[in-house]
Amino acid sequence: MAEKLVSILIPNFNKEAYIPHTFQSICEQTYTNWECIVVDDHSTDASLDLLHDFAEKDPRIKVVRRPEHLPKGGNSCRNHAFSLASGEFIQWFDSDDLMLPHCLQEKVDFLESHPEFAFVASKAEIKYEKDYKGKRTFHQNIQSEQAIEDYLRFRILFITGGPLFRREVFEKTGLFSLGLKKHQEWELFFRVILNYPTWGIINEPTYVYLIHGNSISGQSANKREKLVNAEVAAIQTALNPTTNPFISKIPPSVYRKTSLRYLKFSLIHKRLQDAGWFFTQYLRQLTR
């Protein structure tokens, strides 16, 4: 039986320091039937030259620049990469992480032997950059018996490179929301689990996730406010029927609890307009 094609889809913007290691790890995969589509978001460093160097050495790597008519941002680049992909399996990835040699092989083998699952999730080996000043703890639970509620409470976390999906998943759920600048993977994967509430588990690392930047506690009040903005925006996108066509799959009790939780969250952060929005959603759910 011929090996199925895996499409590795990567956005890139100014990651020249990481590209050599990331793409070398992809080229060293034991599973060889893959294509890697990289959409560069008009980098201003040497990223594009490095990517073209890899593409010249390995024709499985395809490098394109984000078309001018598409909005800037990683979400737009990922969606464009998907439109160019031919694989039966989809592997989202970032240009600063590393694949362990068996990454694709383990995931493909699992899905091939478990046709009942639409995707399989694996854990990551966490690596902190030397200048990282935050707490060195990272939550990456990838399984649950009450997936929807746990996901909305951030008790489950799929890091970008963790899951391998069958292509039809995104043909059903749609792609990344262009309206979100943070938590975009979280919001997309929430739509996925509403439609596919059980999935396969590989309880060992298949890739290396690099953590860099400063801790939240060391950030300015402005940065912390942006994090609050991002979380509220992601939850509103997940609970809004105009952006999430699968709202009816959220149990009413879970929807109400989530609305009340973020009503309180919004009040604590003095976001009265958002508090009103969550209160309205709560009232609407009382009739379900």
d(CA 89, CA 196): 16
**27-31 mean pLDDT:** 98
**59-70 mean pLDDT:** 97
Q: What Rg do the C-alpha atoms of the chain give, in angstroms?
A: 19
Beta bridge partners of 121: 163, 201
Question: DSSP H helical segments within 68-212, as ranges?
Answer: 74-84, 103-113, 147-152, 168-173, 184-195
For residues 78-97, b (16+ Cβ closer than 10 Å) or e, as one string?
bbbbbeebebbbbbbbbbbb
Across 123-132, 142-151, 172-181, least confident range: 123-132
How many CA atoms does the CB half-sphere of 246 hold within 13 Å? Answer: 18
Per-residue pLDDT tens digits for 107-141: 999 999 999 999 999 999 988 877 655 565 667 78
214 pLDDT more than 50: no
d(CA 123, CA 125): 7
pLDDT value of position 226: 85
What is the percent of the chain where pLDDT is above 70? 93
pLDDT value of position 135: 61
Q: Which residue reads 């599973």 in tokens?
A: 31
d(CA 233, CA 44): 29
**218-241 mean pLDDT:** 82
Q: What are the tokens at 277?
A: 């929005």
- Cα pseudo-dihedral 162, 165, 171, 176, rounded to 10: 10
Per-residue pLDDT tens digits for 231-264: 999 999 999 999 999 999 999 999 999 999 999 9
Q: What are the tokens at 150?
A: 């746990």
Q: Please indicate whether residue 226 or residue 69 has the higher confidence score (pLDDT).
A: 69
**207-216 mean pLDDT:** 71
What is the percent of the chain where pLDDT is above 90? 82
For residues 250-275, b (16+ Cβ closer than 10 Å) or e, as one string?
beeebbbbbbeebbebbeebebeebb
Band of the pLDDT at 225, cuts 50, 70, 90?
A: confident
**30-58 mean pLDDT:** 97
pLDDT value of position 89: 98
SS3 of residue 20 by DSSP:
helix
